Structure 1
Amino acid sequence: MSKRTHDQVDEMEAGPSTSSTITTSLTPSTNGVGAAEEVTVGLLKVPQKRFYRQRAHANVFVDHELDYPKSPAEMDWSFYYPKYFSNPDQQVEPLEGQNVKKVEWADVGCGFGGLLMALAPMFPDTLMLGMEIRMSVTKYVTDRIAATRQHQSLLPSESTERVKGQYENVSVIRANAMKHIANFFEKGQLSKIFFLFPDPHFKNRKQKARIITPGLLAEYAYVLQPGGILYTVTDVKDLHEWMALHLNNHPLFIPIPNSELENDPILEAARTSTEEGQKVERNKGDKWVACFRRAPNPED
């Protein structure tokens, strides 16, 4: 079966996105009329992974028929962060505060979105993006974020379940970061990049597909601002040593002693909040961490 056929099957197998409908009074978050009105809202289900079956690995070198902008300036972020970006197709003025922020953190190979959901309420003013190549997994995270946002919007203002930001600062996109990361982000746009429990590609002939290689590090250094941090976490010692070796050998990455990040809540979330990280915890396995700070540009 071709890859395209697999993707079509996966898309059809994804579970239903709504469970029921209610009529309620909501203030739309679009750029239309801001007055409250009676609207019919589909209640979104919290997605279940069993409805989003997907192979664990994807060939990053084949054509996945992905959509990506020609340059970061052509990227329309309004679909992913409607609170922060106006729809360019709507002939209305942007709301106050829109089109000002930029995505600052990227979780490359975000899987089922555990890190994004953990960090979103901790840093509600920071825009975070998950990048995932697998179609059904991306759809799962998309549905998870949509359901969580809706749940937050329907909570009473005094509810203790409401969190600051209401997950409007987090989103996911289906993309191949190994090929197109510079199509989404400008030079020095990101302050944090995460590579958590990436595919180890154990076979020698497959190691060229690893997410950390000398050639790719130049791409990551381009989009990561000086002083920004690149996080790596894995339960495979060989992969940890591979990533650390190449990062140490690159002139634009400076290793950060683990003791310096010992109390960093971001690193703690990176170690524990992903599905893979939780699986390692249950199996009492080891986790290997290596973090690097982006060095200043030579011309600076």
Structure 2
Amino acid sequence: MSTPPTWGPLRSFGRIKSRTLKPRQAALMETLLPQIAVPDPAAGPIDPRALMPDAKAVWFEVGFGGGEHMAEQAARHPDVLIVGCEPFQNGVGSALRHVEERELTNVRLHMGDARDVLAAFPDASLERVFVLFPDPWPKARHHKRRVIQQETLTELARVLKPGGRFRFVTDWKDYAAWTLERALKEPAFRWPAEKADHWKVAPADHVTTRYQEKLLGDTQPIYLEFERV
């Protein structure tokens, strides 16, 4: 494994808690989360294969929100381990409810910064990475807080296997342009899009969440998918 990057003190996310957790979610934080939590990345390297030894692939979701996309993908692909990271406590509580209700055994969670877990993964250990509707930090002075930075893309390229895919979706034009510009500078990524349908039309396996339906950005969703060469 290469030397882990230094992220610095800047967080790529805002608040980590809003309303008080519902009793059921609070209970799941105490009972279910410890059972499916990713090992503390500060303790050393994490082998995702060890989290589900019989998994045929490992997928990674950065900032899973309420967990709808993660849970649906896990239900569709029970033989795939999906590791999800989310710093927002209420989102983790929601995801735990999805995991319990759908009896998902192939989900592992980290309540915190996804970049810490990413840095603890071995080279070429993931088949897919999802970054869906991340905080856009639209003001120019806040762009340094965006989760997509050049060093993040370099880390994603490191942990993805050749042929692996990185999907980024946003409903902010500037963030799409920002990500595309930086991804094209990363020599390990190839953008296979050839026509507008490739970024304007949702991929066949995309899961539309309630957050996406709110249309909070300044454009219809833009779907960018890159291949690890």
Alignment match, 2:23: 16
Alignment of 1:206-225 (within 5 A): 206-225=142-161
The answer to whether the 8 Å contact 2:80/2:106 transfers is yes
Name the CA distance, whole Å, in 2 between partners of 1:279 and 1:10. 19
CA offsets 1:79-133 (integer angstroms, 9 cap, x no match)? xxxxx4xxxxxxxxxxxxxx34376101101101111122123222111121111
Aligned-residue offset at 1:260? 11
Q: Secondary structure at the match of 1:178?
A: helix
- Residue pairs, 1:98-247, within 5 angstroms: 99-101=53-55, 104-149=58-103, 167-183=104-120, 185-247=121-183
Task: Please name the residue that 1:156 is paired with.
Answer: none
Paired positions, count: 201
Aligned amino acid, residue 280 of structure 1: L
> Using the alignment, how far apart are the partners of 2:55 and 2:48 within structure 1?
15
Say if 1:240 and 1:276 are closer, same or farther in 2 by CA, change over 3 A: same
SS at 1:273 equivalent? coil
Indicate the residue corresponding to 2:208 in structure 1: 273
Query: 2: CA distance between counterparts of 1:288 and 1:253?
Result: 18
TM-score (structure 1 length as normaliser): 0.58
CA separation of 1:142 and 1:258: change in aligned 2, threshold 3 A: farther
Residue 234 (structure 1) shift: 0.6
Provide closer, same or farther for how the CA distance between residues 267 and 131 of structure 1 changes in structure 2, counting only shifts above 3 A: farther
Return closer, same or farther for 1:261/1:192 CA change in 2, 3 Å cut-off: farther
In 2, distance between residues paired with 1:222 and 1:74?
Answer: 14
Partner of 1:152: none
SS of 1:17 mapped into structure 2: helix
Q: 1:287 to 1:10 in 2, by over 3 A?
A: closer
Partner of 1:71: 45
* 1:292 equivalent in alignment to 2:229: no
Larger Rg belongs to = 1
| TM-score using structure 2 length | 0.75
Residue 4 of structure 2 aligns with which residue? none
Taking the aligned partners of 1:193 and 1:132, their CA distance within structure 2 comes to 14
**Aligned equivalents of 1:261 and 1:122: distance in 2?**
25
Which runs of 5 or more residues in structure 1 are unaligned?
A: 1-5, 19-41, 45-65, 78-83, 85-98, 150-166, 296-300
Structure 2 unpaired stretches of 5+: 1-14, 29-38
C-alpha contact 2:86 2:111 (8 A) present in aligned 1? yes
CA distance in structure 1 between the partners assigned to 2:73 and 2:152 by the alignment: 26
The answer for the alignment partner of 2:12 in structure 1 is: none
Aligned partners of 1:235, 1:193: CA distance in 2, in Å? Answer: 18
Indicate the structure with greater helix content.
Answer: 2
Q: 2:55, 2:79 within 8 Å by CA — same for their partners in 1?
A: no
Give SS of 1:120's match.
helix
Does the C-alpha gap of structure 1 residues 118 and 73 become closer, same or farther in structure 2, counting only changes over 3 Å?
A: closer
- Provide the rounded CA distance (Å) in 2 between the counterparts of 1:131 and 1:191: 16
Mapped to 2, the partners of 1:72 and 1:254 lie a distance apart of: 27
User: Deviation at 1:259?
Assistant: 5.8
Matches within 5 A, 1:44-83: 67-68=40-41, 69-73=43-47, 77=51
SS in 1 for 2:102: helix
Amino acid in structure 2 at the alignment position of 1:72: I
Q: Which residue of 2 aligns with 1:39?
A: none
